[in-house]
Structure 1
Amino acid sequence: MPFFLRILFIAMLLLFGFGVLAYLVEPETFITLFDGIWWAIITASTVGYGDFVPKTILGKLIGILLVLLGVGFVSSYFVTLASSAVKRQNDYIEGKMMFKGKEHTIIIGWNERSKAIIEKFLQEENYGLIVLIDQTLESNPFSDYHVHFIKGRATNDQVLIKANIYHAIKVLITADQNKDELQADMDTILTLLAIKGLNPTVYTVAEILTTEQISNALRAGADELIQTNQITSSVMTNCLHSTEKVDALMILLEQFNGSRFVFQASTAYIGQNFIETSKQLLEDGALLFGVKRGRDTIINPSHPFVLKEHDILLVISATS
């Protein structure tokens, strides 16, 4: 039995016992058993309404013993209860509390990328709960109750269980930029194996830094891979090849970080070519710039490119 429950049990037993004694010793003062118990509780809690007062010496001695014993246990109970609440709050802030929610998103690793992602999610309405797992943080970096912090290594099963991996809907694994790129990718792959071992169906997105580890990450169960270095290199290459500033390119990339960049099913366009579909979407104010087919992403495919079932359209939607 928890400590505070034991103290409560002892305190209630004492109060009940003294209430019965008062009722037996002075039946003319405490007409019913409930009156005796009521007096014992009020006296031990130091409230002392004065509606019931012992008249005999024996009754007063019982009152003295009640004050000496009962008050200590009652006070100890409330102190223990307050300490437990404070400890629970500290455990929550320090990432020691288990997450009991469902259908949440788990983000692994604390860095500028994960910080920006969480801040973006918090700006959206009805996005849901987020669990952040990191071993370097000492406390929850977000005061928002939508973000639950778990301290520890994501390769540890107990840490993932504490994050309720069984009921998560999505997991994002960010690469540790403080480590060697190969070592960071190896940690990501180990994390993937731990996640898929506990919940094979959870949708997992992983950040990979080296191209040679892409196949291993896919074998480990990654549903989607983000090749950060390749994306960054592509932007830098465009900067070097361009004779003008590429501010427009950077602005375009920034638009992807929001609701304007959407994935759209190709169900209504199966059998049409890319150009026909692009014209139809353009009439609705949406720009089609690529197609995701399986694990391949094709940007501005050459004509003719016929859309097939299960193709995903990469679209920049019109802003409201």
Structure 2
Amino acid sequence: MKSPLYIRIMFVVLFIIIFFGWIVAVIEPKEFPTAFDGVWWALVTISTVGFGDFAPETVAGKLIGMVLIFTGASFITAFFATSSAAAIKKQYSYAEGNVAFKEKQHVIIIGWNEKASEIIQSVRQIEPFKKIVLIDNTLEEAPLIENVHFIRGNPINDQTLLRANLTEADAAIITADQHKNELEADMQSILILLALKGLNKELYSVIEILTEHQVNNAERAGADEIIKSYQLTSHFIISSYLARNKLSSIYADLNPASGNLFQLLNVPVQLIGVTFKKASHELLEKETILIGIKRGEKTIMNPPLSMIIETDDLLIIFAH
């Protein structure tokens, strides 16, 4: 009785088909040699198909047929009506973000804006089968994007995050709230990060920060990667200003979805102790461009060709 209504009606319909099929086979064994023939007749009758290959001949058999038609037709109609209603209700629940996500190793994106839309499109191109869960409290219904599961709710609340199956997620990306000023947006992003890490300490998290003085708080909250929008945007703007040759048109090709992406590479054994020039040549043979070195907390872009690569360095490369 705890099952959905359409499930209960389905069992009633099956019971009616089997029961009346067996009864008619007992009453008219000549017309219905086996119980299966009776069940077949009951199914054809109740579905109003009416092939006519089997039909009762006696008064008792016809009375059974009449009862079957009156009772069965009403139940079969109710079954299809409730099934359709349940399917529509389920679809509305998905669109409204009320259905919990059950799969694993997915990416959670928090906040709906143009950045989030671009991130989703890039992920779909790089990893077409990667599941994406979007959490947002401003959308009334899910955006029409394939392979995106929408959860409507406040991402600071544990219930919302658990509906997104946060404990089984692969990573989370927190975008700044476009409806708030910079300081309020950063404070909210950090609160969301604390909620994420509180439920899943091992979750890889990327957070967008709009103001410099909130970077330290994001680090304390446990962010694995901090995207300083104010810094990146200003650098691109000044580069375009200095170049004066529509440099911004090239930025689109830096999108990983275009096939090229920046990576940090541990130094291969054969490159330890060699110069930056030699390492660049060897990596270029593998269609990989060496553009810099990360040494501890220091990043050196386009270093001197004579610079020696050390064991603990990380190579900054641009690769396919």
TM over 0.5: yes
Alignment check: 8 A CA contact 2:106 2:171 kept? yes
SS of the equivalent of 2:117 reads helix
So what's the TM-score if we normalise by structure 2?
Answer: 0.85
In 1, Cα distance between the equivalents of 2:312 and 2:79?
A: 62
The corresponding residue for 2:167 is: 166
- Tell me, yes or no, if structure 1 residue 265 matches structure 2 residue 265: yes
In the alignment, structure 1 residue 68 sits paired with structure 2 residue 70: yes
Amino acid at match of 2:255: N
SS of the residue corresponding to residue 120 of structure 2 reads helix
Structure 1 CA distance, aligned partners of 2:7 and 2:125? 42
1:172-229 Cα offsets, whole Å, 9 max, x none, are 1111122021211121112112222222212111101122221221222210000001
C-alpha contact 1:265 1:310 (8 A) present in aligned 2:
no
Aligned residue in 2 for 1:102? 104
Is the 2:240–2:246 Cα contact (8 Å) retained in structure 1? Answer: no
What CA distance in whole angstroms lies between the structure 2 residues aligned with 1:310 and 1:68? 82
- Separation in 1, partners of 2:180, 2:57: 78
Q: Counterpart of 1:233?
A: 234
Gaps of 5+ in 2: none
User: Which letter maps to 2:69?
Assistant: V
Give the unaligned 5+ runs of structure 1.
none
Give the letter aligned to residue 150 of structure 1: I
Query: Which residue of structure 1 aligns with residue 13 of structure 2?
Result: 11
CA distance in 1, matches of 2:205, 2:105: 14
Report what 1:219 is aligned to: 220
Distance 1:45 1:283 in 2: 70
* CA deviation after TM superposition for structure 1 residue 257, in Å: 2.0
- Pairing of 1:1-320 with structure 2 (within 5 A): 1-124=3-126, 126=128, 128-144=130-146, 146-238=147-239, 242=242, 245=244, 247-248=246-247, 250-251=248-249, 253-258=251-256, 259-268=259-268, 269-272=271-274, 274=276, 276-278=278-280, 280-281=282-283, 286-293=288-295, 296-300=298-302, 306-317=308-319
What is the alpha-carbon root mean square deviation over aligned residues? 2.8
By how many angstroms is 1:8 displaced? 1.0
Aligned letter for 1:260?
Answer: N
Q: CA deviation at 1:284?
A: 5.5
Q: May I ask how many residue pairs the two structures share in their alignment? A: 314
Is the alpha carbon distance of 1:85 and 1:24 closer, same or farther for their aligned partners in structure 2, counting shifts above 3 Å? Answer: same
Over residues 139-179 of structure 1, what are the superposed CA-to-partner deviations in whole Å (9 max), with x where a residue is unaligned?
Answer: 332342x3222222222223222222222222111111220
CA 1:110/1:311 → structure 2, altered by over 3 Å: closer, same or farther?
A: farther
Moved more, 80-89 or 199-208: 80-89
Secondary structure at the aligned position of 2:291 is classed as strand
Alpha-carbon contact 1:263-1:312 (below 8 Å) kept: no
TM-score normalised to the size of structure 1? 0.85
